[in-house]
A = this chain, B = another copy of it.
Amino acid sequence: MIPRYSRPDMVAIWSPETKFRIWFEIEAHACDAQAAIGVIPKAAAEAVWKAKDVTFDIARIDEIEAVTKHDVIAFLTHLAEHVGEEARFVHQGMTSSDVLDTCFNVQLTRAADIIIADLEGLLEALKRRAYEHKDTVRIGRSHGIHAEPVTMGLTFARFYAEMKRNLARMKTARAEIATGAISGAVGTFANIDPSVEEHVCKALGLTAEPISTQVIPRDRHAAFFAAMGVVSSSIENIAIEIRHMQRTEVLEAEEFFSKGQKGSSAMPHKRNPVLTENLTGLARLVRMAVVPALENVALWHERDISHSSVERNIGPDTTITLDFALARLTSVVDKLVVYPDTMMKNLEKFRGLVHSQRVLLALTQKGVSREDSYTLVQRNAMKVWEQGADFMAELKADPDVRAALSEAEIEEKFDLGYHTKHVDTIFARVFG
């Protein structure tokens, strides 16, 4: 976890304090359930809740773990220091993984909630900017080359649609990961009744894992990290668009540049899209968790612990980075400085050539063969390209073109409204 790429709420989910708090809740709820079916005394279950408001002493737990070399035992030992003798009823019939795995999924579920909220915030910003620039015409580009006009609103709208899909993916991923298991050393409930699992999971907002081994199956986690990988690639997609827009020769938009920011203040042309470049890198960081998460699925028999070190890293790091990246991206989108004038200037760079495709189509629709239409358009286009002529003027002056198209018809082909006529339809599809 890199502090500069993190936000406190997500970091808090992964703090030792939160972890021990969740452990406590799992153990305490389990005691309630055990008491309800008579396995342990009701008084013992009640006694455990004495620690409800305790802030556990991390240093003390670490100290015990240094001796026992077992984190859950260390925690239970420390818990006993608060609860007293009745602590011996805690954790009965349970295995460490019951606590660790259920806790991990609680943390991932909470992380998913933040990411879902992040996405909703991003969607709001994208939608606002989409409507703001619904009719701001800019040139569409394929292969980095001018193609036909689009609008900036459409650009925002397609990012909105993409992020909306990501929202759905994260919700699915959240549902996938929101399970818990209190099923014992090999998942058979040999030493603990399934009702305990049901109770604990319900209390924590989870579903009981239908069948677990010592651990919760890791295909769930793989799917979760894969979903984040897709989200991060969409972040990169938006970041790349903005980086292109800001490059000196294009300059159709700039990341908001705060006044105090130093470095290149004497070079006003030198406003670097450092936020979106940074997002490009952060996307790689989120994405790199996907492969190890997939490699974690195949555990030996009822479990091996190879997944654990991986998850200690990617659990916090990936969710923290993704949360930060989404927040940064939201801010970038929200404050992006858009330059409609430059957009129009860029669009007109080739004095009308952008409309050549339309003219071509018009000719064929008038009955000119595809081949002949090509030739007609091409010879006029070449004058624009090579001699800097004006495309519309050339077409009007070409008798073969005029044989098929009137002046008015030619002019009509240069109308930008032609390209934007379905923007409302598309917006209705995207925003409902």
Shortest A28–chain B CB gap in Å is 19
Least CB distance from A308 to B in Å reads: 6
Known A148-B184, A285-B309, A309-B2; contact A301-B364, beta-carbon cutoff 8 A = no
Q: Can you show 14 pairs from A to B with CB atoms below 8 A apart?
A: A69-B261, A142-B185, A142-B302, A144-B243, A144-B273, A157-B211, A162-B219, A190-B358, A237-B297, A249-B250, A249-B349, A268-B353, A284-B291, A285-B309
Within 8 A of B (CB), among A184-229: 184-191, 194, 208, 210-214, 217, 219-220, 222-223, 226-227, 229
Check if A403 is an interface residue, CB within 8 A of chain B.
no
Interface residues of A in 334-390 (CB under 8 A from B): 346, 349-350, 353-354, 356-358, 360-361, 364-365, 369-370, 373-374, 377-378, 381-382, 384-386
**B165 and A176: CB pair below 8 A?**
yes
Interface presence of A15 (CB below 8 A): no
Does A272 sit within 8 A of B, measured CB to CB?
Answer: yes
CB-nearest residue of chain B to A217? B162
Closest B residue, CB atoms, query A210: B429
**A240, closest chain B residue (CB):** B298
Q: Is the CB of A142 within 8 A of B268?
A: no
Indicate if A73 sits at the interface (CB-CB under 8 A).
Answer: yes
In whole angstroms, how far apart are the Cα atoms of A210 and B430 in the complex?
6
Instruction: Choose the segment among A47-55, A110-118, A415-423 that binds chain B (4+ C-beta atoms closer than 8 Å).
Output: A415-423
* A385 & B420 in contact (Cβ 8 Å cutoff): no
Bound Cα distance from A227 to B226, whole angstroms: 8
Q: Does A406 contact B (CB under 8 A)?
A: no
Give the number of residues in A that approach B within 8 Å (Cβ atoms).
154
Knowing that A143-B305, A144-B246, A285-B310 touch, tell me 11 more A-B residue pairs with CB under 8 angstroms.
Answer: A142-B214, A142-B303, A145-B246, A148-B184, A165-B219, A223-B227, A226-B290, A248-B346, A249-B349, A266-B381, A287-B291
B300 and A144 contacting across the interface, CB-CB below 8 Å: yes
Q: Mark A135-164, 1 if CB is under 8 A from B, else 0.
A: 000011111111111100010011001100
Distance A212 CA – B385 CA, assembled complex (angstroms):
30
- Is residue A27 contacting chain B, with contact meaning CB distance below 8 A? no
Check if A86 is an interface residue, CB within 8 A of chain B. no
CB <8 Å contact, B140 and A213: yes
Q: Cβ of A145 and Cβ of B310 under 8 Å apart?
A: no
Q: How far is the CA of A212 from the CA of B162 in the complex (A)?
A: 10
Whether B142 and A369, one on each chain, are in contact in the complex, defined by CB atoms closer than 8 angstroms, is no
**Per-residue B-contact encoding for A278-302, CB less than 8 Å = 1, 0 else:** 1011111101111110111111111
